[in-house]
Amino acid sequence: MDGRISKKQLKTLLSEDIETVLEEVVEAMNQARPGHIIDDSEELVRTAAGEFRRRLFEKALKLRGDSEAFSPSAPCPRDTDSMAK
């Protein structure tokens, strides 16, 4: 494989996460008071979406392969060039 991932692979890995974010959004919306839907639900929905986004990216990176992902602890190519001098 050339390092590419498929929508089907990612969707399979995210099935539980999708259900979780949907449940959290539905709960936030249903708990919101009439006339205060945005005030009561916006932050809860934003938090749920942010957590989903984090899990989505983590799982996509894992699919892509750890060897191809950026590692903050790995030396930068510029750093290795300057070390050789």
Verdict on whether the full-model pTM lies above 0.85: no
Q: Render pLDDT for 5-47 as a digit per residue (tens, 0 to 9).
A: 999 999 999 999 999 999 999 999 999 999 999 999 999 999 9
85: number of Cβ within 10 Å = 4
Report the pLDDT averaged over residues 55-65: 93
> What integer pLDDT is reported at residue 67 of this predicted model?
45
Query: What's the one-letter identity of residue 35?
Result: G
> What integer pLDDT is reported at residue 80 of this predicted model?
56
pLDDT score of 71 more than 70: no
Please name which of 61, 33, 29 lies closest in space to residue 48, comparing C-alpha atoms.
29
CA distance 26 to 52: 15
CA distance 45 to 51: 10
Can you state the angle between helices 37-64 and 7-31, rounded to 10 degrees? Answer: 160
Which pair of tokens denotes residue 53? 């986004």
